[in-house]
Structure formats: structure tokens, C-alpha cells
Structure 1
Amino acid sequence: MKTPTKISKQATNNLTKNLEKIIKQIGGGKLKIALVNATKLEKSFPKSSSLFNIIGAIYFKQGRKKTAINYYSKALTIEPNAFESLYNLGVALNASHKYREGLNYLQKALVVNPNSFHTHHTIGSCYKNLKDSENALVSYTRALSIKPNQVSVLNDLGILYSQLGENKKSQECFKKVLAIQPTLAMAHRHLSLVTDYQKEKTHLYELESLIKKQMNPIDEIQIRYAYFRAASLEGNINEAFRNLKIAKDLRKTHSKYDIQNELEVFEKVRNFHKKCEKTNRKTDLRKSHVKNIFIVGMPRSGTTLVEQILGSHSKAFSGGEVSFLGNELYPKFSQNKTGPNFHSYNTFLTLYEDYQKFIKQITIDAEYFVDKMPTNFLWIGFINKTFSNSKIVNVRRDPMAVVWSNYKHYFSSKELNFTNNFDDIIEFYKKYESLMNFWKLNIDQEIYEIDYEQLTVNPDYEICELLKFCGLEWEESCLSFYKKDGLVQTASRDQVKKPIYQGSSSEWKKYSNHLELVEAKVKSSLAS
């Protein structure tokens, strides 16, 4: 039976009513029912751009981004200039780390609706992901010119300014947010990161008032984090630690995190390599590709400092924490109880090419690309077998400094939920050490070790040796990395905007009265 070229008025009315019903179901969180009802309409309305757009939106909300992208694309084949489909496709591509493609569709959406603050806001997000802070600032500013009091844009603009080291401008954004929503916990936490409480007390008093009130756990976690930082800078160590511990315990409970699931992934990765270590290493050295430098280590071990040093070289580009390898590989090792359902590194021969395509979006023309995702230590076997022109640098730091620094920081990423508990941090650390020792014995590639404390004591020598290993010549700019403009999107952004200094590894000692048991566990488990 052929599909009629024209849909009757009654059929169109029925479609409209059905779509309205489905939109209500989506709004009510009934995604499965909404999807069933929407897909039933596909056969009757194969030329409905609105229907395909709504099906795409359901899949996107379910986290099925690839399918969502397919449906948004179908919608655009029917109505190429449909604003909602252009916008939704741009959002989905950006969320799928296809930033350039997403930006292309979002800019098309702006042509259709130049006054869409949502589109300007998301374009700002795309530019930020592409490390283009200048255009990100322009887009956020345009969004605010349309809706000056939009909290989500002010918040993102404040974060961007803080990552650029412009703390005063960042403060102004978060203060505007709190003038609109005085109890917004997230904004209080962000404001605490850019406030010098030895000079400014107003926000400290606000936090003291807030922690006395009844809050939901999510808000309480963020407020107590903010108060920890404020009280710590004020010198009230006992009160600071008490609030940090309450926040950490709440977050551990709320996350329902089980360290055993994490540790099982470590073992699956190790066992996979044992089975597949005879796979020949890829040796295709194409000159058109950049050389990859992977900086790994425990989170908070100094990987950002090493990245900023290397990224200050004229031949290198700082890529920050690139999530590509983890996004591609972690699900394959975590979702199957017995390990991945493949048995050879050859299954991933395209991993290198896909990674190069991914980083090409953000790489300014450079010979070297620096990826400082610390947890890439899990994937050293894959790096060794598929990245023939790679260098691997492992950063080490005093174990107690690493344990404390992980505990005291608020990490948004669920992948770092182990940092909410001292015992979990120590267990994770032990597995990291064990896996690094395994790689050294079982791959045919040198892993360069750099010691954070030695780097701060003797930077000239340590940087010179690091550059030699990476195949780079000495440049003075690597010593003055802190003068370089650009985004630093990690918890170390304040430290790396200053010259190299000593003493940060002893910061935990201020809290030593609260850390005696932790120190004993670290000494017995990690001191060697």
C-alpha cells in the first residue's frame, strides 16, 4: 500500500493531538510509554518532521544519543530549516563530543531564530569544548543580552572566567546568580572557589547561616564544601574538616558507590592484556598525524602542572583531560561481569584513527598533542598496541598529599566517586600502583616517571629531562608556563597560574590531628 502524498486534515489533527499527549508524557518522565506511542505513529506519518524530532528527544533523554541523532537527521531531511530539529541535533552532537558538527547545526539554527538564547548558550558550550574561550565568551554574552538574568548562562560564564584565571569577573557572575537565587547551592560552591576569605568575609557569614538550615542532601553537600574552603582559608581547621567530612559522608551515601566494581575493572583490564599481549604493536607512522603524549597518574598527583609545562612548548598543544579513551573502553570492561566480549587488541585497530579525528576538532596546528587524563593509566595496553607514535608520562607525588588532595576536592565526575572516602581512595591508589607495575613489566614501551616533589625542587633539570624523553628541545617558555593564556579546566587551575612553588604536598599536615588513622594506613599500604 502506497503512502498517500497528502495527509488529510483529520489525520493531521489526530497527529497533533497525539504529539501533545506524548509531549505531556515526556514532561511527566514517562519516557518508555512516550516512546511506544511515538513509534506507533511512524508508519502512519513517515513524513512528519515533528514526530521524528520528538522521537529523537525521547531517545536523547534516555541517553541513547546515536539513535537520537539519527532521528533528528531524519527530521531535517523532511524540513531542512526546522529550528527545533537543527537545535536538538546540535545539542546531541555536542553531547556526543562531536563539537564541530554540533556547532555547524547550532549556527544554522541561529539563522532561523537569531534571538534564541538557548542556541547562543549552547554555542558557547561548543566553543568552550573546543578550547576557544574567546568565542565562548562572545556567545555567553549574547545569550545574556537576550535574557540578562538567566542563571544557567551566568553560572557557565562564571565557571569560564574562573578557568581563565579571571576570578573577579567570575565572582561577579556568581554574585549575580545568588542575587536571583540566594540559596542556589551550586553557585555558593563555585563562588567559594574564587573568593579570598582572608580579605572578604561576607560570603563566609552567608555560608555560616546556610549550614544551620534544613537542606536536601544535594544542596547540603555543596554548601558544606563551600564552607570547608571558607573556614580553611580563615584558619578554622577543625570546623573546616568537620564540614568536609559531613559533605563527603553524605556524598558517599547518596552516590551508592561501591569500590569493588571499580577494582574489578582493573582486574579485567589486566587479564585482557595477559590474553592479548602477543598482539603486534601497530607501527604505521603517518606524518600527517600529531604525536600523542599521554600524562597519567593518580588524580591530583600533578598531571595538570606537567601538561601546562609541555603545552607551553611551541610544538605542543595542551588538550586537557580528553575523555575519549575512557568513553570508548570503560563501558566494555564494566558492563560485562566476565570481562569484554572481544579477545584481541586487533578489535580496536581504528581506536587510533578515531582518537585523531576526535582531537582534530580542538587541536591548533601542532606537532604534539598532550592528553592529561590521569585515569588513562587503565588503557596503557591499548595505547601501547594502537598508538605507535605515543609517549607515556607517569606522574608520582607523595602518597599522603595525593590521598588528602583527592579527599578535599569536589569532583563533578561520577568516575571519581572513590574520592568520597579515605579507604576507597587508598584501595584505588593501591590498584593504580599495582597496574602501573604490571604495565612496566608487560609492554614494550618506556613509561617515563616524573616525581612532583622533585619537579618543584629542581624544575630546570626535571623539565629538561622530560622534554628530552618527549623528543622536544628546551624552550624557556616551559619554565614560564604560568604566563600562558588559556583554559585550565581542572581542580588545579589556581596552582598552575603561578610559578612552580614548593610546599603544596605538605598542606595536609594542617589537618594532621584528624588524619592520624589515614596516615597510618597510607604508610602501611603505599609508602613503599
Structure 2
Amino acid sequence: MPSQTTTFAEPPTLDVRKTLARADGARRAGDITGAARDYGAVLARFPGNPRARKALAAIGPSAASALADMAKSCEAAHQLDEAVQHWADAVALCPGHIALCLSLCRCLSDMGRNHAALDAVNEALRHNPDSALALDTKGCVLRDLGQMDAAQACHREALKHGGNTAGPLNHLGVLARATGDTDKAADFFRQAITASPGTASLHHNLAGCTTYRAGDAHIRQMQDQLADHSSSDPRQAPLHFALFKAMDETDDRDGAFAHLLRGNHLRKASSNFDIAREAYRFAWYKSLFAEPPAPMQITNECEPRPVYVVGLPRSGTTLAERILGQTPGAQTAGELSVVSNAVSPLLRRLQTEGRSAPTRQDLQTLRDRLLSGIKRHSDGSPILIDKMPLNFRWAGLICAAMPEARVVSLSRAPMPVAWSLFRHLFSSHGNGFAYDMADIAAYMLLHRDMMRFWSTRFASQIVSLDYAALVSETEDTLRELIDACDLEWSEACLNPQAAGGPVLTASATQVRRKIYCGSDDDWRRYEAHLSPLAAALNTAGLT
């Protein structure tokens, strides 16, 4: 979190007179951001300079507003590193400004930097201790950090301070659902809808906790909600996904699938996903390891030792995580952003410098970043399970930097995965491929080829796990998995449904059942509607 004074970069040498003159000129010309940067540089070197302090105090709100606009532009362009810096600079100009602090918190959360996000929201609460919005936001950050009891306390405290109660009620529902209490979750979601009936995502959350029968009043409520909005409004996409589930359960398959198509169309239209861009990135990632890397010279101990569960979303990664978490000494940490936050600076540096491969020093720096991130999430257990599915993109960098790590790579029959992707509304922006049948097939092909490539470079570290074998030959498959990950077998691995702890992914309901066969045939209920998806998979060579 930035300090309460301005934190602009100081030049190697500083001519105070010239810097102040340049700042004054920028201010007269309307360049508030430039002026603020120079005044801040003077104060960073000479905090008592009255001229700079008075001028910066005068333009502070305007400079912060300019920085906020810059941050929003960067967010729109998905340049989150730059956005965070702009938000941080704006907060430094206006310490405790609740909207700026919470914007910084949200941006950090989007990057998975939850500890820094917690600092940002605490800064807001230090100045505004009774802010319901800040308390509710803190609860969300604590939830993402795995501190469920503290998160619940924050959301309940937010309710005491009035304002829009839909947010805290919704988030209490999310927490209840994560612990498997769907009845309590549904009650919270209904209360949230009463407070904010026009919020589509609340209806979608309630639908996930409801089993529908024909004539259900909530179905009519959702239909009426859609009738009041433009059919092209992307904010209504959650209603279409919710109505798909409701109509599927009342056996109106044609109506259900029509809503599913519309919901996916709206989500795709509002995303910036480009399969050609993804293909280019995947090819570049592989090119970094055109030659097998030299063995890493380990200079610092890896503790806890990580096991990464990767694969396509909806391929069984949550189940695998729960199984591995039943081994002695293992901690399940959920979907962490440690890898993406550690890898991103390295990839930017390689691209900027036009280098074709990481050096040993690059990998050592990456290792240090990974270890630092892992330790922040560790509860002291010797093994940490990180289940971020899309880490498969960087499995080579993980393995090169951390020879002790194991990467469990899930594979599953193409059609069941593709169908599960297409019928699911993802909360994050990282799964933009899931809203178009052709994109799904193309991305699945990229995933398959990527994992085949990593397996040729890091065969001893990448452990393949076939979902069909997992559910049909469970004990033999799991014993092989546990052994390949250098973990200790436990009979509890055969009963992951008994594992404690919350589940925040879309598989929260499924993983609380015993391991079972049959889910790979769910798509056949819509086989008549899925010929375009089958054709796309066939064209990609995935059938």
C-alpha cells in the first residue's frame, strides 16, 4: 500500500528550481498529472518544501481524478499492472479516499494480489470505519484468502451499517454455498433479490441452489426481468444461464437451449477473447523451450513443496485437488494467482528485450517469486496444492524453475468437457473461449498440444491424470497418482467427499458426492442441439 505522502519516482538528480518551474508550467497548461508528478518528486526529496506542498494540496483532487481516469483506461485495455500503479498514485494524493482505495483493492483482487488488496481496503476502513461498502469488500478479500469466518463477520457487520444490503447478503450466500449449505445460501440470495430485484447475477446465484418444477414463480420472475431489458444487454446474460438451468430441470429442452445460446452470445460479445491471439501466445511460450533447459541449480529450499493441478476448466481439477488434499501433510489452497503474478514480469521482460529463452538467472528470479508467493498462502504444511487450471500455459516455466514441483495434468473426453464449458457462466474473465463452440474446440486443441509439448520437456515432473480412469478404476489410478507426486498414500484419498473446507468453484456440489461414473454422458441429453459443437471438435481432430 502506498504511504500517505506522494510516491512518485525521484529522478537520479533533482534541480528543485527547474522541477518546480516545470510543474508550475504543467499546471498552467492543464497537465495536472505532469504537475503532480513533479511536485511529488520535490516533496519526496524535500518533504518540507512549502511551495510544492501547497501546490500539490491544491491540485490533489484534480490530479487524483486524472490518475483515476488513466487507471480506468488501463483496466479497459487489460493493462492491470499499469492500472494498479495509477490507482496507488491517486490514493497517495488523497489518503483514505474510499472510492480510490476500493478501486485499488478491486484491481489488485483482479490480479490475485489479495494480500495487497487487503491492505488497500484496510486503508479505506482506517478513515471510514463504518463504511458498509468497504466492510463488504473486505469480506470478499478475506474470502479469497480463505479466511471464511472473518469474511462472514465483515459481511454481517456491513449489513449493520445500511446502504445497499444486496451485496453483503449475496456474499453471505456465496459463503454458505461454499460450505455446502445450499438451503441457507438460497435464503440469502432471495433476500438479496428482494433488496435488488434487477441484478441478474443474484438470480443466477439463486438458480444454482434451486431445483425447479414447472410453474416455479422464480422462472416467471426471471422471464419478466428479461422482458424489461434489451435483448442485446450483456448484463442480462446471467439470467439466460439461470433460465437454461430452470427450463432444463422442467424438461423444456428447446427453451433451455435457446437461453443458453443467447447467454453465451451476450458473454462472447462483451469479451475481448481472440483465439488467434491465444494461438500466437501458446506458440511463443513453447518457443521459449525450443531447446531443453539446463538443470536448475537449486540454491534455496522449496518449502512448502507445491503440487499444481492444471487442465481445462470443468475437466475434474477440483476433484483432483480434493483427493490430493487428503494425503498427509497436504494443504489445499484453491485457485491461486501466484504463478501468473510471478510469470507475467518475466514474460514481459523477455518480450521487451526480444530474447528467445529465459536465462538461468531469469529462472532463479522466477523461483524466488514463486516461493515467496507460496509462503504467503501456506499454513505451515509441507505440501501445498495450487489448483489454478490455466496454469497449464506456463507449466514449462514452473517445472524449469522448481524441479521439486509436480504438475498434475487433467485430461477428459472432449465432448463432456466442451459441453460443461458451454453451459457454465464463469465469474472470471480468463475463460473467454468458453462462450463460443468453435473457440472451445480450438482452445481445447491448443491445450492438448501444449501439454504434449511440456511432457516432452519435463516428463519426470508432469503427471497425467485421465478423468475416465479416475472414476472407473479409482484406487489403482489414485495410487499411481499419489506415488508420482511423491506424496504419502491415505485411504482418505478414496473419499474426497469427506474432506472439510469450503469449495468456491462451480464444482462445489459435485465434489461433495462420492466419486461416481456417468457424468461424461450428461451432454447426450442435448445431443440433438449440439451438432455444431460436435462438428467443431471433429474439425479440430478432437473426437
Normalised TM-score (structure 2): 0.81
SS of structure 1 residue aligned to 2:293: coil
Kept in 2, the 8 Å contact 1:265–1:333? The answer is no
Kept in 1, the 8 Å contact 2:471–2:517? The answer is yes
Match of 1:230 in 2: 246
The alpha carbon displacement at 1:311 in A equals: 1.6
The alpha carbon displacement at 1:214 in A equals: 3.5
Inter-partner Cα distance in structure 2 for 1:386 and 1:116: 43
Inter-partner Cα distance in structure 2 for 1:112 and 1:339: 40
Choose the corresponding residue for 2:358, options 345, 348, 370: 345
Matched, 1:196 2:211: yes
The alpha carbon displacement at 1:203 in A equals: 1.1
The alpha carbon displacement at 1:521 in A equals: 4.1
The within-5 A match list for 1:158-197 is 158-197=173-212
Kept in 1, the 8 Å contact 2:346–2:366? The answer is no
Q: For each residue in 1:387-411, what CA deviation from the matched residue of structure 2 results, as whole angstroms up to 9, or x when unmatched?
A: 1210111111111101111111112
- Report the AA paired with residue 409 of structure 1: H
SS of structure 2 residue aligned to 1:415: coil
Choose the corresponding residue for 1:481, options 496, 517, 521: 496
Q: For each residue in 1:29-85, what CA deviation from the matched residue of structure 2 results, as whole angstroms up to 9, or x when unmatched?
A: xxxx76457557656544757557667655544443452475368559xx7x88888
- Report the AA paired with residue 265 of structure 2: D
Matched, 1:265 2:281: yes
The within-5 A match list for 1:376-455 is 376-443=391-458, 445-455=460-470
Inter-partner Cα distance in structure 2 for 1:130 and 1:55: 32
SS of structure 2 residue aligned to 1:269: helix
The alpha carbon displacement at 1:510 in A equals: 0.1
Matched, 1:368 2:383: yes
Structure 2: 5+ residue stretches without partners: 1-14, 18-23, 43-50, 76-81
Inter-partner Cα distance in structure 2 for 1:72 and 1:473: 50
- Report the AA paired with residue 501 of structure 1: Y
Normalised TM-score (structure 1): 0.83
The alpha carbon displacement at 1:380 in A equals: 1.7
SS of structure 2 residue aligned to 1:350: helix
Q: For each residue in 1:320-353, what CA deviation from the matched residue of structure 2 results, as whole angstroms up to 9, or x when unmatched?
A: 22223334546876999x8973333222421122
The alpha carbon displacement at 1:158 in A equals: 2.3
Match of 2:311 in 1: 297
- Report the AA paired with residue 178 of structure 1: I
SS of structure 1 residue aligned to 2:368: helix
The alpha carbon displacement at 1:167 in A equals: 1.6
Kept in 2, the 8 Å contact 1:55–1:68? The answer is no
Inter-partner Cα distance in structure 1 for 2:363 and 2:222: 50
Inter-partner Cα distance in structure 1 for 2:439 and 2:259: 19
SS of structure 1 residue aligned to 2:384: strand
Matched, 1:71 2:122: no
Choose the corresponding residue for 1:460, options 462, 475, 489: 475
The alpha carbon displacement at 1:382 in A equals: 0.4
Flag the 1:413–1:171 CA change in 2: closer, same or farther, 3 A: same
SS of structure 2 residue aligned to 1:345: coil
The alpha carbon displacement at 1:421 in A equals: 1.1
Inter-partner Cα distance in structure 2 for 1:83 and 1:137: 21
The alpha carbon displacement at 1:453 in A equals: 1.5
The within-5 A match list for 1:41-190 is 42=40, 44-46=51-53, 48=56, 57=68, 60-61=71-72, 62-63=74-75, 64-68=82-86, 71=89, 74=92, 94=109, 97-104=112-119, 106-107=121-122, 110-147=125-162, 149-190=164-205
Moved more, 293-302 or 147-156: 147-156
Q: For each residue in 1:415-460, what CA deviation from the matched residue of structure 2 results, as whole angstroms up to 9, or x when unmatched?
A: 2111111111111111211122222223353421111122112222
Inter-partner Cα distance in structure 2 for 1:345 and 1:118: 44
The alpha carbon displacement at 1:148 in A equals: 6.2
Flag the 1:302–1:86 CA change in 2: closer, same or farther, 3 A: closer
Inter-partner Cα distance in structure 1 for 2:521 and 2:236: 29
Inter-partner Cα distance in structure 1 for 2:348 and 2:531: 34
SS of structure 1 residue aligned to 2:288: helix
Choose the corresponding residue for 2:511, options 496, 518, 523: 496
Choose the corresponding residue for 2:293, options 260, 279, 292: 279
SS of structure 2 residue aligned to 1:349: helix
The alpha carbon displacement at 1:90 in A equals: 5.9
Structure 1: 5+ residue stretches without partners: 4-13, 23-32
SS of structure 2 residue aligned to 1:370: strand
Matched, 1:354 2:369: yes
Flag the 1:349–1:450 CA change in 2: closer, same or farther, 3 A: same
Moved more, 97-106 or 200-209: 97-106
The alpha carbon displacement at 1:300 in A equals: 1.2
Q: For each residue in 1:498-523, what CA deviation from the matched residue of structure 2 results, as whole angstroms up to 9, or x when unmatched?
A: 21111111100000011134324434
Q: For each residue in 1:262-294, what CA deviation from the matched residue of structure 2 results, as whole angstroms up to 9, or x when unmatched?
A: 1111111112211xx343232417446111111
Flag the 1:367–1:2 CA change in 2: closer, same or farther, 3 A: closer
The alpha carbon displacement at 1:199 in A equals: 9.1
Kept in 2, the 8 Å contact 1:99–1:130? The answer is yes
Inter-partner Cα distance in structure 2 for 1:293 and 1:222: 34
Flag the 1:342–1:46 CA change in 2: closer, same or farther, 3 A: farther
- Report the AA paired with residue 85 of structure 2: T
Moved more, 167-176 or 378-387: 167-176
Matched, 1:209 2:227: no
Kept in 2, the 8 Å contact 1:384–1:445? The answer is no
Choose the corresponding residue for 1:472, options 481, 487, 495: 487
